[in-house]
Structure 1
Amino acid sequence: MVITDPLDGREKLVLSNYAMGETGSILFIDTESGEGESIKLPKGPGAWGLVNWHNEKLVVGTCVDQAYLHVLDLRARKWSETLEPQGEAYFWGMTLGSDGKVYGGTYPGCSLLQYDPVNHTLNNLGKVSANTGNQYSRPVWGEAPGYILVNYGFDTCGMKAYRIESGEFVDFGAPGSQIKWVTSELICAENGDNGRLIYYDAATLQPLTETIPAQLIPRLTVTLPNGQSIPVRQLADNRLAGVRGQEYFIVATPEHHSEGNEDTVVVVLKPIPVEAPPTAIFTLQSDGKELLWGSSGFGQTIFSFDPVGGTFWNSPSVCDAGGEVYGVQFIRDCLFLSSYVGGDHVVYDPAKPWDQLNNLNPQTLRSVGPELIRPEGRSVIGPDGGFWTGWSAKYGVYGGGLSRVDPVTFEVECWLDPVPQQQIAGVASDDKFIYFTTNGGASGLPHRAVPCRFGIWAPGKGLVHEEIFPEEQEAGNAIVALGGKVACGVGARICIFDRESRSFIHTASVENSCQWLVAIDSQTAGAFCGDQYWEVDVDTGVSRFVCTLPGFVRAAVIHSGKLYFAVNADLYVFHRLIPKR
């Protein structure tokens, strides 16, 4: 958002910052001086909704487990009492309506919420779509007088208009269409069948057949020389401000454009001028030398850490798409990454200068999108030396796939739906095979209870063996190969598969669902189960509780003979591994 700050009368670019596993913040950047200010939210990790209410208040809608609505008095810099809509985990964007009230879309309720800034009350106006498979109402627009316009998805997609005066939802446009932008005069939507742009009168919601003058098309993005399109906000002096990952820019407005045909602009990227808050560690990996590497939750960044010296480094965004890095592996002294939301493969050489803007280092390789977008299964080094990743399908589709990157040629191969309509939940490897588990998860759709699978994939051959877990057992990310065995976290059990007999030979019980497994040695699997750490002997199937942990562990890795693990933004280490017997 852009505001005129009542505290000092200066124009500020305002960002709503998300800090996974921690507490989010609101960031202010003075558009002239470049000075920054950060204000911590009362609770929650932050994002996605942000509305400037008449330069008096900022209305902030957040996610991820519980949607919070925060309101900041700009002059006093004080928060009002937080409002919590029942049953909603996300605010998916917000807008200011022509009635002076603030409206927001949600997940998983696919609802439209109305906030009254005068009375500080929050009202649920109802579901935008009657299809229970549609969990998302996003984004929302209030520019058309008398209406709030909403997209919904993802089982089916469409558009709705909420008439403010009558309080009713109205269908308009072709089924499957999605709104792209709205002004006080026009609604631009993209046809779901052919991608053609259709324009509607903002007063009547009726389609227009005449050519739209270029001056009526708002400038919502700029295109960088690398082809990337970046959303922008217009400043008071007609300059444009935008954010690219951990950096921002302000540029002069290029010549006016027509839809889909805009001039490229050269930008000078500047670091966001406040200290970045702690953010959850999402992935951990050892370089086999002196450094630990990892990624941040929903920040599209990586980091390195020297456990001996205590020094660390955080990167800018590793690729153009937003999201986060799931898979991290070192091959030939380069860091190979797999990333949500673009289905990207990325290679970074730490010995060379950083130049992501020109796709030199890190370099984004061929994507597996749009069919596959989320590397849910993470990434491993296969028996053939390739970089293998397990994927979940695009929004609104049940399914998944496997991909392989050749570490020498950077050639990318992809195999869709090794198990039809199931995502790859976890991936492991040894000197012979790739192993994977599947489940009924998906992006943008309700989780399905399905018979989860265990598969063996031979490079060059494909799927060579498959097992079906009992229906009540849910497979997840936890899978590791060690000593000719494969340990899989399936519910509150660790199922142990023997490579030679090609059968599950043991089931070890643990008290909680296992979310992460790591090979301690060729016989012992370390299991992170809720806030407990267990060790499992894969030869005998005997499990042993070791200790209580400081919280839910998202990632763990062996580095220099020690076991490191992450809880939210904090990194922990067992200074010695407790003897097994």
Structure 2
Amino acid sequence: MPKIDGGGRGTMGGRTGDIRMIGVPVMAEETRSAAVCASPAGEVRVVVAARGFLLSVNPATGRCEQHPFPGGLVDYPFASLSTGEGMFHTGAGRQWMVFDPFAGSYRHAIVPAPDEEIVGMSFAEDGQGFVYATTYPGCRLLRFDPRGGRVEALGRLDERQKYAMSLAVDRHGWVYAGIGTERPSIAAWDPKRRSIGTLAEQPDGAAGSAQVHTGADGEAYGRLREGAPWFRLRNGEMIPVDEADVSPSLYTGSGYNKLHRQLPGDERIAEVNLSDRELTLEAAGTGTAAGKNRRTIALRYETEGTMLSPLALGPDGLIYGTSNHPLHFYTYDPRTGDLRNYGGRAVEYGGGGNICAYAAVGPYLAGAAYAGGHIHVLDTRRPVTAGAEEGSPRNPVRAGSYPDIHRPRAAAAHPGGEYAVFGGFPGYGCVGGGLCLFHVPSMSGTVMTHQEVVPYQSTMGLAFMDEHRLFGCTSIETPGGAEPLADQAELYLLDWRSRKVVRRWTPVPGAREISLLAADRRGLLHAVTGDAVYFAFDPEAERVVRRLDLSRWGKPVRQGLLTMADGDGEERVYGLLSGAVFRISAADGRLDILAEPELPITAGMAITGGNLFFASGSRLASLCLT
């Protein structure tokens, strides 16, 4: 095992093969839903769900209590609910948890569906106190009985789709679910027949998710998609209703940052922000004081830090990166040891996303961010700023958003010095991601759809061989919930002059994904499949010239492959797997395992000053190469 240094500030150094833990750039957590809990005695708590813990806040005193998930579970919640008795329900991973904020303890921690990945994608409560929840990917409906603490499986809400992101219960005990993402539909559970059926589905086959909610008036409402007509859902029937007559949901907010219920009395919750460690309250009502009289409660909690996303070497020699859930922007200077976190407001539309792939073009570093395919451009000659200071523009600036790369995975800089190219997965419910050809000087991009690249596939890696040849590798996977429509991953060649894909290959038959790609000066392509099979491909001879199974060292990590000429002039391929750093000679394919860290490698990768930089969970680390 290589020596591991605890890190700390200071310039880089060490012996060949030494791993140095530099530090944790981002000490923050993301709000993963929250709820206002009121006891029968009139006590009130605001409970915030986070990765691995709950934070219970007394809004009257400002006191915060942190409660780790039972069993040491560290996973992300997706939704939560406050019952009529003031109990807090949430799920993380396979565990359904019921928390009593007034006793400060968990009443239940149950694994009701061991074959599911996530329990608690959405919640609802009926008039008898039963609590309902949905699962992923089986799209099942579960029911919790508070009297006995049992969870009953009621059935699948959809036989094909995976997401049920909203639930509602009407006055008669019918339960409704908003289903997606491939085909919006509304499903219903009949409490008398104890059966599940589909009430309606989007007729045109467009992707998206239906929406349902229980209104403040106790009625259930739903619609098939944003902007579609509303219905009152009653006894398994859909009754058209004007939007003005739809009672508002007890949930406010969006995505995984929803708040269930509001404070009673003279104040309301304006924002729950774990990332900035603030709970903001404001005057309730609609008068002149509403929204103006504000006070802030500091949210105090301990964390081991936020998972880091792929990192990159900037044109100025700094290491750049973001954290993931929440997104904070950070830099590290290998020359001085300065590790700096610029917070969550430095990247526009950051929120719970991350910048997934970077390309350096002249003095600029361009990055593509999830969720939404936002392209951010940083001028490395200027300081990082969120634009809050008067007369100070944003840096980085969001230069555009491209849904075809909603979930970015790949980036490459054109050798001509003006373009960055980005690829990735499309949005929820869609199949096949596009390419964004982004012109940095004009801050504008054009999009090639998956039909123009490789139909029904998404680009995972990009590499320019020269000014005219751009190679890409693909995945057939559909992380947004749709069913794959392709059989095996491919390599492709895009002619830059014509902007057309002119050749396609299937180098590893049966591979569902080719995750990583790099090109060398000899004209070979180097790649790693999702199953950690390395191969070198000669595009002129159109054949695989070498192949190695690296799966004993784990899975490939994002942005975990690059080629470079070392000090001896020999070109080598450097790569990251979850359990090892490897090096392969571009000339003869000789494999060297440079390190097998004690902690897993989770994201890559930059090499500068004789050191290879990577992420291990929330830690920034380096490996000495010289």
Q: Shorter chain as normaliser: what TM range? A: 0.7 to 0.9
Asked if 2 retains the 8 angstrom alpha-carbon contact of 1:144 and 1:182, the reply is: no
Question: TM-score of the superposition, structure 1-length normalised?
Answer: 0.83
Paired amino acid for 1:539: A
- Which residue matches 1:260? none
Partner of 2:494: 457
2:583 aligned to 532, 535, 553, which one? 535
**TM-fit CA distance, 1:88:** 0.9
1:278 is paired with a residue whose SS is coil
Q: Which residue of 1 aligns with 2:275?
A: 246
Aligned pair partner of 1:312 in 340, 346, 350: 340
Aligned counterparts of 2:436 and 2:296: Cα–Cα separation in 1: 33
Query: How far did 1:150 drift?
Result: 0.7
Aligned equivalents of 1:543, 1:30: Cα separation in 2: 58
Query: Shift in Å at residue 83 of structure 1?
Result: 1.9
After superposition, the Cα gap between the structure-2 partners of 1:368 and 1:138, relative to the gap in structure 1 and judged at 3 Å, is: same
User: Does 2:75 correspond to 1:45?
Assistant: yes
Distance 1:44 1:395, change over 3 A: same
- After TM superposition, the structure 1 = structure 2 runs for residues 113-132 of structure 1, keeping only pairs within 5 Å, are 113-130=142-159, 132=160
Count of matched residue positions in the alignment of Structure 1 and Structure 2: 553
Asked whether the 8 Å contact 1:475–1:488 carries over to 2, the reply is: no
Quick one: which of 349, 373, 376 aligns to 1:343? 373
Partner of 2:548: 508
CA displacement 1:256-292 (0-9 Å, x = unmatched): 9xxxxxx999999997554554222221112254532
Question: What's the offset of the Cα at 1:218?
Answer: 5.0
Kindly indicate whether residue 131 of structure 2 is the aligned counterpart of residue 87 of structure 1: no
* SS of residue matched to 1:472: coil
Which has the larger displacement, 414-423 or 36-45?
36-45
In the superposition, relative to structure 1, how do residues 273 and 245 fare at CA in structure 2: closer, same or farther (>3 Å)?
closer
Question: Which amino acid in structure 1 is aligned with residue 343 of structure 2?
Answer: S
Is 1:365 aligned with 2:393?
Answer: no
- Which residue is 1:150 aligned to? 177
Deviation at 1:346, TM superposition (A): 2.1
Whether 2:507 is the aligned partner of 1:469: answer yes
Match of 2:20 in 1: none
Which residue of 1 is the match for residue 238 of structure 2?
A: 206
% identical equivalent positions: 18
Distance apart, 1:102 and its partner CA: 1.8
Over 3 Å counting, the alpha-carbon distance change for 1:31 and 1:205 in structure 2 is farther
Which residue does 1:423 correspond to in 2?
Answer: 458
Q: Which amino acid aligns with 1:507?
A: R
- CA gap of 1:44–1:7, structure 2 versus 1, over 3 A, is farther
Pairing 1:62-141 to 2, within 5 Å after superposition: 62-63=92-93, 67-80=94-107, 82-84=109-111, 85-91=113-119, 92-130=121-159, 132=160, 134-141=161-168
For the Cα contact (< 8 Å) 1:300–1:319, is it kept in 2?
Answer: no
- Specify the alignment match of 1:406 in structure 2: 439
- The 2-side partners of 1:520 and 1:546 are apart by 16
**C-alpha distance in 2 between matches for 1:362 and 1:272:** 28
Equivalent in the alignment of 1:572 = 621
CA displacement 1:417-450 (0-9 Å, x = unmatched): 1100111122233543432111211121355672
Residue-by-residue CA offset, 1:405-426 (whole Å, 9 max, x unaligned): 2222211211111100111122
**Is the CA contact 1:254–1:265 (under 8 Å) kept in the aligned structure 2?**
no
Pair 1:60 & 2:90 matched: yes
Alpha-carbon deviation of 1:493? 2.5
Shift of 1:535: 1.7
Cα distance in 1 between the residues matched to 2:218 and 2:579: 54
Q: What is the match of residue 524 of structure 1? A: 572
The one-letter code sitting in structure 1 at the alignment partner of 2:187 is K
- Partners of 2:456 and 2:485 within 8 A in 1: no
Q: Which has the higher contact order (CA 8 A, sep 6+)?
A: 2
Structure 1, unmatched stretches of 5+, are 19-23, 257-262
Q: State the 1:388 CA deviation.
A: 1.6
| Counterpart Cα distance in 2 of 1:537 and 1:403 | 32
In structure 2, how many angstroms separate the alpha carbons of the residues matched to 1:253 and 1:81?
34
Query: Do structure 1's residue 554 and structure 2's residue 602 form an aligned pair?
Result: yes
Q: Is the 8 A contact 2:348 2:398 kept in 1?
A: yes
* CA–CA separation in structure 2 for the residues paired with 1:520 and 1:269: 51
Do the aligned residues in 1 keep the contact of 2:174 with 2:190 (CA within 8 Å)? yes
Q: What CA RMSD, in Å, does the superposition of the two structures yield over aligned residues? A: 3.6
Pairing 1:439–2:475 present: yes
> How far apart in 1 are the matches of 2:295 and 2:543?
58
Aligned to 1:235: 263
Partner of 1:27: 55
Q: Quote the residue 2:27 is aligned against.
A: none
Q: CA offsets, 1:308-338, max 9 Å, x none?
A: 4353315215233643321234445444221
Q: Give the distance between the partners of 2:420 and 2:236, measured in 1 at CA.
A: 53
Task: Give the Cα separation in 2 of the matches to 1:333 and 1:8.
Answer: 62
Is contact 1:234–1:241 with CA below 8 Å preserved after alignment?
A: no
- CA contact 1:456–1:464 (8 Å) conserved in 2: yes
Give the match's secondary structure for 1:172: strand
**397-406 or 488-497: bigger deviation:** 488-497
Alpha-carbon distance in structure 2 between the residues aligned to 1:448 and 1:567? 34
Residue 164 (structure 1) aligned to one of 176, 187, 191: 191
> How far 1:45 moved relative to its partner?
1.5
| Pairwise CA distance, 1:231 | 5.6
Quote the residue 1:389 is aligned against: 422
Please tell me the residue identity of whatever aligns with 1:471: P
CA distance in 2, matches of 1:337, 1:27: 33
Give per-residue Cα distances to partners, 1:508-534, cap 9 Å, x unaligned: 342445443233536211232341332
Q: CA deviation at 1:107?
A: 0.9
Task: Measure, in 2, the Cα distance between the counterparts of 1:217 and 1:200.
Answer: 12
CA contact under 8 A between 1:325 and 1:340: conserved in structure 2?
yes
Work out the CA distance in 2 between the residues paired with 1:35 and 1:87.
Answer: 38
Distance 1:265 1:200, change over 3 A: farther
